[in-house]
Amino acid sequence: MAEKSPQELIQIDFTPPPRNWMNPAVDFEARRGTWSYPAAVKNLDYLGMPNPREWSPTDLDWKLPPNWKQIIHDGFEDLLKKYRSLKIFMDICVRCGACADKCHFYIGSGDPKNMPVLRAELLRSIYRQDFTTMGRIFGSLAGGRELTEEVLKEWYYYFFQCTECRRCSVYCPYGIDTAEVTMMARELLNLVGLNINWILEPVANCQRTGNHLGIQPHTYKDNVEFLCDELADVTGIKLDPPINRKGAEVLFVIPSADYFADPGTYTFCGYLMLFEHIGLDYTLSSYASDGGNFGLFNSVENLKRLNWKIYQEARRLGVKWILGGECGHMWRVMHQYMDTLNGPADFLEVPRSPFTGTVFSNTASTKMVHICEFTSDLLRHGKLKLDKSRNDKYRVTFHDSCNPARAVGLLEEPRYVLKNVCNHFFEMPENTIREHTFCCAGGAGLGNDENMEMRLRGGLPRGNALRWVRDHNDVNLMTCICAIDRATLPPLANYWAPGVEIAGIHELVGNALIMEGENERTTDLRGLPLVPEKEEQGDV
Amino acid sequence: MLAETLAHSRDTILDRWIESVIARYPEDTAGFLRRQADRFANPVGASLREGLAEVLDGVLGGAEPGALEPALDRVIRVRAVQDLSPAAAVGFVFELKRLLRDGLGDAQAGNTAALAEIESSVDRAALTAFEVYMRCREQVWAIRNAEVKNLSVGIMERVAEWRARREAGEDAPRNQ
Amino acid sequence: MGALISLFAVAVLAVLAAVGASVGDGPRFVLGVIVPGVAFAVFLAGILYRVIHWAASPVPFRIPTTTGQARSLPWIRNNELEAPSGLLGVLGRMALEVLFFRSLFRNTRIELLPEKQKLSYLADKTLWAAALAFHWAMLISILRHFRFFVEPVPVWVDWLESADGFFQVGLPVFFATSILYLVGLAYLLARRFIDPKVRYISLASDYFALYLLLGIGLTGFLMRHVEKVDVVQVKAAIAGWASFQAVAPVGVGVWYFVHVFLVSVLFVYFPFSKLLHAPGVFLSPTRNLANSNRARRHVNPWNPEVVGHSYAEWEEEFHDKLKASGYALEKE
C-alpha cells in the first residue's frame, strides 16, 4: 500500500458529495452505524406484508420483486389519490431553503441529503418524472429523475434517517411536513419489502400480545406487581393496581416501555401513586397494554390495526373515558389519528374529572385525556398534597417531546406540573424548546442500537442545549413526556452532557406526593437518597 | 520574540485553522457551519470555534499536556461520531504546525529552538487528541452495549429474580 | 449549470419576442394579441385544473402543525394563531401565513457566538424580508396595471399609485414597489448563488422562474423610465385586446412586446411549476386545519378496512397463561 502523508490521510473519506444531488449512491458498508437492520422474515410473515426474505442493505442484490418499478409507480399513484397532502407537498416546494438547517440530523451530520428539502426531493424527483407534464418533457431540468435501484436504496437510507419530528414543518412557509413525506415514502418501501426490524418487530409483537415488547399477559402482571413491590420499599404502601377490571370509570393507557425499562418504570410508579392518592376509579389493561404505536412509522393499515384495541377494550371494560400516560408518538396517534381511524367513540362519555368537576371539552369526541392535562387540573384545584422539597436534589429542565409539542400543542401543562412539584426549574434556550424543540434523534423507529452513530449525531443539537443549562444552571435532570425519549435520551445525555439524568414528569410527581399512611421518605422512587451524601465537600 | 509574534497573529492563525477544518465538509455544509451564528442552531460550528480557540491558546501559552483535554474533547466528541476516518477526525491538530509556521513567516529564522518547542507541544496535543478520540469511540460502544441490554431485557432480569423468590415463598424486601 | 441553461432560455425568449416585434404586423399581431390571449387562458384553465386535481384527493387525517399552546384547560392561555381551535383561528393563522409569511419569520437567534455578535439581529430575517418585499410589490404592481385594463381608471388605482409614488422622485415618478420588486428578486436570486446550501438544492426551474420575473420587471421598468413608452398607445392596444377587438398594437416599442411575451410565458409556466405555491398554500393541511382533533371527529372517506387482533382472539391465544395468573376471563 502506498504511503500516505498526514495531509492525504486527513482528506480521505470526507470528500464533498458529487455536485449534483441527483446522482444516488449510498455506501452502506462504509456507513455502518447510520442505518437500521431490515425486518425479519417472521415479522413480515406474521403481518402478511410483501416480499419477506433474508437480506442486508450491504448486499448488492436487495432481492426486489421483478416488477418492483411498476409496484412503486402504482403505489405512488394510489397514495396521490388518497392524500391531498402528498399532492400539495410534491407540487409546491419552492426550495427556499428555510428548512435546510432545521433538521437535527443535518445539523449534527452535515450530510446534505439530511436537509428536509432534499429528503423530500428524493421522492419529489421521481414524482416529477412520473406524474408531471414538466418532468415528462424536461426531465432533470425540471428536477425529475429516473427511478432506479440506486434511488430506492437511497430512499431506504434517508427515509429511515428521518424521525418524523416535524421541526422543519414549523419553518416552512407552506407548512410542508417532511414527516408526512417520510410516511408516504415508507408506505412505498413497504410495497417491495424494504422496511426495518426495529419497527416491524414491535408492530408484529403488538398485534399479537397487545404491546410492542411482546410481553405476554402473565408477565405483564408480574412486571406490574414487581414494580409495586419495589415502590412499597420506598413508600411503605403496597399498591394493587387493577388490571382488566370491568366497570372502572377510566381506562389508563400507557406506552409499554413504562413497565418494561428504566427510567420509565419510575414514571409508571408515579402514575400509580397519583391514582392511589386521589382515589381514581381506574383500570389498566393487559390487552390494550401499549398506547404507543409503531404502525405510525410504517403504514396506515398497521397504525389502525394496533390502535383498534384501545377503543375495543374501553368498550369491553365499560369505562366512561380514557386517560393516557406520557408518550410522544402515542399522543400524535391519539390526538390526530385514533378518532378518525377507529372512532366514533360514542359509547364513551365526555371526560370529566371526578375530583374537580372539570369537563375536558377539548376531548369531547375522542374522549381521551393526557395525563398532564389531568394532573395540572388537579394541581390547579389544590387536590394534591405535595412536598416539593423532596425533589430538591434535582435541578430540572424540560425537553418538549416532538409530538406533544408540534402535533398536540401541549406546552404549558407539563411545565405547570413541573413547577408545582419541584423547586428548581430551568428552561433550555428558547430556540430549542416548545415548537422549536430538537428531537431525541431516536423517534419514528430509529432508536435501535445499530443506528447509534446517527442517533448521536442527530442528538447533538439537543445535547448541546442540554450541556448549556448543565454548565450555566447546574441542571442535573432533564424531564420529558415521551417513552422513546426516556429510552433514547439517557445515551444522548451520557455522551453529550454527562451528569444529567432523564426522568418522566410523573416520577417527580411521585417523589413529591405525600401519600396517606406512608413511611417517612428517605429515598426517591429510584431508591436513591433524597439528600445526596456530600462527603467530598467537607471543606464547607 | 517568537511568542510575541505568534500572540500577534493569534487571531489570523485561529481563523485559518477553523477554516481549514470547516473546508473539509461538503460545500453546502461548510457554508452553514461558517455562517450560522447561533450556537444552538449550529452546535458543530460552536464546538469548533470554542474548542480550537482554547487549544490554540493552550499551545501558545505552553499549557500542560493534560490541560488541553477538555478543549480537545469539545471538538473531537463531535468529530468522533461524524462520518470521518480516525485520521481525519484528529488530523486537524497537525494542521496547526503548518499554520504556525505560516503565521511566523520570516520570523522563523533564528527561532528554531523555540519553534521546535511549540511544535512538540502541538505533537503532544495530537497525542492527547488521539486519546480523546479513542475514549469517545469506546464510549459510543459502551453506550451501544448498554442500550442493547436496556432495550431488549429491561427490568426482566430483576423480575425473574423476584419471581423466583416469590415462588420460593420468600417475602423479604429486595433492596438490601 | 441549471442557472446558465435557464438564463439562456429566458434570453432566447426575450430575443424571440424582440425579433418578432420588429419584423412586421403579422408577428406583432401574434405576439401582441394571440399569445397573451392564449397564455391567459392556459393560466386560468391550468390553475383551475390543478386546484380541482388537488381537491380531488381527500384529506384523510387532520394533521396541523401546532406552533403554540393548544386550547385545553380554561385557565391555560391558548394561542389561537399558532394552534387554532376553530375556524376563526385558522383564518387568522392563514392570513398571517399568506399576508406576512409568518413561518419564514420564525428564525430566532438566541445566543450568538462571540465573534458573530456584531451581526445585526435582522440579518437572519433577510429571506423573510426579501420574499415579503417581492411578493407584495408584485401584487401592488399587478393592481397598478389595472390602469391599462379598465376605462375609466378606477379611483383605487389612482390611490394606489399616489401611495406607491409617495416619494415623488423622478419623472415619471418611481414607484416604491418597482424598486422593492427588483431588489427583492435580486436578493432571492443572489442567495441561490451565494449561499452554498441553497445553491446545492436549486434546480434549473428555480432559476428559470426568477429570471423570468426579473425579465418582466426590468422590461416594465425600462418602458416606464427609459423608453417612456406612450401610455395612451399601450392602453389602446390592451383595451382592444381586452374587448376582443383584436388589432396588432401600433405605436409601442419592442420592450412592450418583450414584456408581454415574458408575462405570457409566465402565465403558461405557472400552472405546471412550483409557482403553484400561490394557490397551494391555501390547501396545505398542516396550516389550514384547526387543531380541534379531539374535540371534533375528522372523517376519512377511505378509512382502511382492517381491524385489529380482537380481545377474544387474544384471550384464546393466552388462555392458559391468563388463567394461571388469575385473570378474570370472558370465557372460562
Residue C290 lies in a domain: yes
pLDDT over 80 (residue A296): yes
Listed in sequence order, the DSSP H helices in chain B are 2-8, 10-22, 27-35, 43-60, 69-79, 86-104, 112-152, 156-167
Listed in sequence order, the DSSP H helices in A83-236 are 84-91, 104-109, 116-131, 133-138, 149-159, 167-171, 178-191, 197-209, 217-235
Give the B:C interface size as CB pairs under 8 Å.
39
Q: Are C195 and B31 in contact (CB < 8 Å)?
A: yes
Which positions in chain B touch A228 (Cβ < 8 Å)? Answer: none
- Which of B28, B31, B40 is opposite residue C110, by nearest beta carbon? B40
- All three cell numbers of C235, joined, read 392602453
Dihedral of CA C216/C218/C221/C227: which sign?
A: negative
- All three cell numbers of B71, joined, read 478543549
Measured distance between the N- and C-terminal CA atoms of chain B, rounded to whole angstroms: 66
Which positions in chain B touch A491 (Cβ < 8 Å)? Answer: 143, 146-147
pLDDT computed for residue C1 by the predictor? 76
Determine the distance in angstroms separating the CA of C263 from the nearest CA of chain A, rounded to an integer: 19
The total number of structural domains in chain B stands at 1
Picking from A484, A537, A503, A270, the residue whose alpha carbon sits closest to that of residue A394 is A503
Please, which residues 145-174 of chain C have a Cβ atom closer than 8 Å to chain B?
Answer: none
Which positions in chain C touch B28 (Cβ < 8 Å)? Answer: 196-197, 199-201
- Average pLDDT of A57-68? 96
Residue C112 lies in a domain: no
Does B171 contact A at CB distance below 8 Å? no
Q: What is the CATH number of the domain that holds B30?
A: 1.10.490
Instruction: Give dist(CA B71, CA B51) in Å, integer.
Output: 5
Residue C329 lies in a domain: no
Determine the distance in angstroms separating the CA of B4 from the nearest CA of chain A, rounded to an integer: 28
What would the pLDDT profile of A255-272 be if each residue is shown by its tens digit? 999 999 999 999 999 999
Domain that holds residue C253: 2-106+119-324
Instruction: Give dist(CA A265, CA A258) in Å, integer.
Output: 5
Categorize the per-residue pLDDT at B111 as very low, low, confident or very high, splitting at 50, 70 and 90: confident
Picking from A240, A263, A236, the residue whose alpha carbon sits closest to that of residue A516 is A236
Q: Are A229 and B148 in contact (CB < 8 Å)?
A: no
- All three cell numbers of C80, joined, read 389561537
Residue B22 lies in a domain: yes
Domain that holds residue B131: 2-135
Instruction: Give dist(CA C209, CA C269) in Å, integer.
Output: 9
Categorize the per-residue pLDDT at A209 as very low, low, confident or very high, splitting at 50, 70 and 90: very high
pLDDT computed for residue C108 by the predictor? 61
- All three cell numbers of C246, joined, read 383584436
Residue with cell 411545565: A415
Q: Are A452 and B25 in contact (CB < 8 Å)?
A: no
Residue B7 lies in a domain: yes
pLDDT computed for residue A74 by the predictor? 98
Q: Is the peptide bond before C152 cis (omega within 30 degrees of 0)?
A: yes
Residue C47 lies in a domain: yes
Q: C23 or A159: which carries more pLDDT confidence?
A: A159
Contact A97, A177 (CB under 8 A): no
Instruction: Give dist(CA A534, CA C312) in Å, integer.
Output: 56
Look over chain A and give the mean of its residue pLDDT values, rounded to a whole number. 93
Task: Give SS3 for A397.
Answer: strand
Q: Are C295 and A411 in contact (CB < 8 Å)?
A: no
- Alpha-carbon dihedral of residues C180, C185, C191, C192, nearest 10 degrees? 170
pLDDT computed for residue C32 by the predictor? 83
Determine the distance in angstroms separating the CA of A8 from the nearest CA of chain B, rounded to an integer: 9
Does B28 contact C at CB distance below 8 Å? yes
- Which of C75, C284, C314 is opposite residue A287, by nearest beta carbon? C314
In sequence order, the 6+-apart residues with CB closer than 8 A to the CB of A214 are: A205, A208
Backbone torsions φ then ψ of C315, nearest 5 degrees: -65, -40
Backbone torsions φ then ψ of A293, nearest 5 degrees: -155, 95
Backbone torsions φ then ψ of C168, nearest 5 degrees: 55, 40
Q: Which residue of B has its CA nearest to A455?
A: B81
Question: Could you give the percent of chain A with pLDDT greater than 90?
Answer: 90
pLDDT computed for residue C244 by the predictor? 59
The total number of structural domains in chain C stands at 1
What would the pLDDT profile of A103-128 be if each residue is shown by its tens digit? 999 999 888 899 999 999 999 999 99
Instruction: Give dist(CA A208, CA A188) in Å, integer.
Output: 25
Q: Which residue of B has its CA nearest to A430?
A: B40
Q: C252 or A240: which carries more pLDDT confidence?
A: A240
Task: Give SS3 for C166.
Answer: coil
Picking from A187, A158, A1, the residue whose alpha carbon sits closest to that of residue A76 is A187
Complex confidence, ipTM? 0.93
Q: Are C112 and B37 in contact (CB < 8 Å)?
A: yes
Categorize the per-residue pLDDT at A273 as very low, low, confident or very high, splitting at 50, 70 and 90: very high
What would the pLDDT profile of A496-537 be if each residue is shown by its tens digit? 999 999 999 999 999 999 999 999 999 999 999 998 876 555
pLDDT over 60 (residue A294): yes
Instruction: Give dist(CA C59, CA C282) in Å, integer.
Output: 13
Picking from C87, C81, C80, the residue whose alpha carbon sits closest to that of residue C100 is C81
What would the pLDDT profile of B58-96 be if each residue is shown by its tens digit? 988 888 878 999 999 999 999 999 988 899 899 999 999
Which positions in chain A touch B140 (Cβ < 8 Å)? Answer: 452-453, 456, 495
Residue B160 lies in a domain: no
- Average pLDDT of C213-222? 95
- Which of A261, A461, A490 is opposite residue B155, by nearest beta carbon? A261
- Which of C2, C70, C330 is opposite residue A409, by nearest beta carbon? C70
Determine the distance in angstroms separating the CA of C281 from the nearest CA of chain A, rounded to an integer: 5
pLDDT over 90 (residue A87): yes
pLDDT over 70 (residue C117): no
Question: Could you give the percent of chain A with pLDDT greater than 70?
Answer: 95
Which positions in chain A touch C286 (Cβ < 8 Å)? Answer: 85, 169, 175-177, 180
Q: Which residue of C has its CA nearest to B40?
A: C111
Q: Are B39 and A464 in contact (CB < 8 Å)?
A: yes
What would the pLDDT profile of A410-453 be if each residue is shown by its tens digit? 999 999 999 999 999 999 999 899 999 999 999 999 999 999 99
What would the pLDDT profile of A319-359 be if each residue is shown by its tens digit? 999 999 999 999 999 999 999 999 999 999 999 999 999 99
Residue C312 lies in a domain: yes
Does B165 contact A at CB distance below 8 Å? no
Which positions in chain B touch A231 (Cβ < 8 Å)? Answer: none
Contact A287, A210 (CB under 8 A): yes
pLDDT computed for residue C246 by the predictor? 59
Q: A90 or A140: which carries more pLDDT confidence?
A: A90
Q: What is the CATH number of the domain that holds C299?
A: 1.20.950.20
A396-398/A477-480 β-pairing: parallel
HEC secondary structure over A202-227:
HHHHHHHHCCCCCCCHHHHHHHHHHH
Which positions in chain A touch C197 (Cβ < 8 Å)? Answer: 97, 100-101, 112, 115
Which positions in chain B touch A238 (Cβ < 8 Å)? Answer: none
Q: Are A118 and C53 in contact (CB < 8 Å)?
A: no
What would the pLDDT profile of A180-195 be if each residue is shown by its tens digit? 999 999 999 999 999 9
